[in-house]
Amino acid sequence: MPREGGRRELIDPATEEAFAQISAAGPAELDRAVAGAQQAFESGWRDLAAGKRAEILFAISKKLRDHADEIAAIESRNIGKPITDAKDEAALGARVFEYYAGAISKFFGETIPVASGGFSFTLHQPMGVVAAIVPWNFPFPIACWKSAPALAAGNCVVLKPASLSPLTALRLGELAHKAGLPAGVLQVVPGAGGTIGDALVQHPLVRKISFTGSTEIGAHIMRLAAGGIKRVSLELGGKSPNIVFADADVDKAATTSPMSVFANTGQDCCARSRVFVERSVFDRFVEKFVAATRALTVGGPDDPNTQLGPLVSTQQREKVEGFLTTAKSREIIGGDRPAGRGAYLRPAIVLGCETSDAVWREEIFGPVVCIRPFDDETTMLREVNDSPYGLSGSIWTNDLKRALRVARSVESGVLSINSHSSVHVEAPFGGFKQSGLGRDLGMNALEGYTETKSIYISEE
């Protein structure tokens, strides 16, 4: 149990009351954790046959499934996530371990004939100690989708959860070791980003940093990592577009779009917070979007019918409300606080904004959407790409050629056509531009946790 970093209270955002205390690690405890991970790496994990590692990852997956309800209840209490979503995310974490348990035996190298005769072949080798630093909006699934591929590839992991949401990461560490993961292979170190986060990134034994969080901290980590030429992958912020053409199933687009931005109370890097609607269907779209938004259930996270819980904290709510204040000359539908305690905020729809407005340009990380009409594809695409971010997005059209043309033109790492789905365990996930570097999930993630070694064999 760490204690050097002091104790802090965790506040339930639904009640604004403290419900747990957490001991944070300090520099010496962090150093011991990294040294322990390095020792576990050298003393066996890296050399364990891939099939043996896979067996352990399958066992972790099963353990997580067996404890899914408990994990979901912890997450829901900790960050106010609706229990139904928290259950889905607990199941997603288990599936990620299962996927990489199966994937590692299919992660092949190459055999390359070389011009001078003979051939080279490639090996994917683990890097060593990987630092995984994760945010508070999807604490459990993101902890899993960093740990599972890193471990499958033979690395050891030091996982630093966000200060607001350490509980499910700690439970993941316990359950993984109960499932048979050798001591030291996965270390979970709660503590403050500015102190132990920085120390972790700069630790000489850490070879790779896999970070999910804000673009600002991602850039800071990149700078810290530069001195040691450490490998870095970054999953950062977003301001994703949702593009609706007049030939689409407009009713379906309009009624499903609210949850593409308001799910997780808008605290989602993939939130489709900039909606572009072709002018001829704009009024119809807005009418249905507003009605569907009003029908969403805002309520207590423990109610299975709740779709939108509180924000993660009252401070986060104030930050979101600050953005709404900057937009008060625009038409805003909703965005008010329900009566009673808790960091609740009803979803806000902003109409009539300009592309220079802060609400349109900046990542708000709360339940706020802007909807604007467009007249022609070229101008719309210029506005779509006029953003430092490029993470996700949706395109609604029944014209296949247009769908493919627009999908190629949008500067985003992840897109969906006639859907709002962003995350698939089997497919790469990550951003263009300031939304990130490298990819999580799919087979691509394994590349990010390995070095490729080329070995030449002479046939002379």
Active site residues: 235, 269
Q: Which of 297, 304, 288 is nearest to 256 (CA)?
A: 288
Count residues near ligand NAP (CB under 6 A): 33
Indicate the helix (H) or strand (E) that contains 233: strand 231-235
Could you say whether residue 197 binds ligand NAP (CB under 6 A)? Answer: yes
Q: Answer for the pair 331, 351: CB distance below 8 angstroms, yes or no.
A: yes
According to the binding rule CB under 6 A, does residue 217 interact with ligand NAP? yes
Segment near ligand NAP (CB under 6 A), from 94-102, 208-216, 346-354, 444-452?
Answer: 208-216
362 binds ligand NAP (CB under 6 A): no
**Interaction with ligand NAP in 269-328: which residues (CB under 6 A)?**
269
Contact 189, 28 (CB under 8 A): no
Query: Is 391 near ligand NAP (CB under 6 A)?
Result: yes
Q: How far is the CB of 329 from ligand NAP (least distance, A)?
A: 26
Transcribe 111-162 into DSSP letters: EEE-TTSSEEEEEEEE-SEEEEE--SSSHHHHHHHHHHHHHHTT-EEEEE--
Q: Given candidates 90, 152, 156, 201, which one binds ligand NAP under the rule CB under 6 A?
A: 201
**80 near ligand NAP, rule: CB under 6 A:** no
Burial 401-439 (b: 16+ CB within 10 A, else e): eebeebbebbbbbbbbbeebebeebeebbbbbbbbbbbb
Q: Quick check: 436 binds ligand NAP (CB under 6 A)?
A: yes
CB 152 → ligand NAP: shortest distance, Å? Answer: 19
Contact status: 137 vs ligand NAP (CB under 6 A): yes
Cα–Cα distance between 41 and 280 in angstroms, integer?
60
Is there binding between residue 76 and ligand NAP (CB under 6 A)?
Answer: no
Q: What is the DSSP string of 344-391?
A: ----EEEES--TTSHHHHS---SSEEEEEEES-HHHHHHHHH-SS---
Under rule CB under 6 A, residue 212 binds ligand NAP:
yes
- Chosen residue from 80, 139, 141, 213 binding ligand NAP by CB under 6 A: 213
Where does this chain touch ligand NAP (CB under 6 A) — which range of 39-47, 212-220, 334-342, 350-358? 212-220
Binding-site ranges for ligand NAP (CB under 6 A): 133-138, 160, 162-164, 192-194, 197-198, 201, 212-214, 217, 220-221, 235-238, 269, 363, 365, 391, 431, 435-436
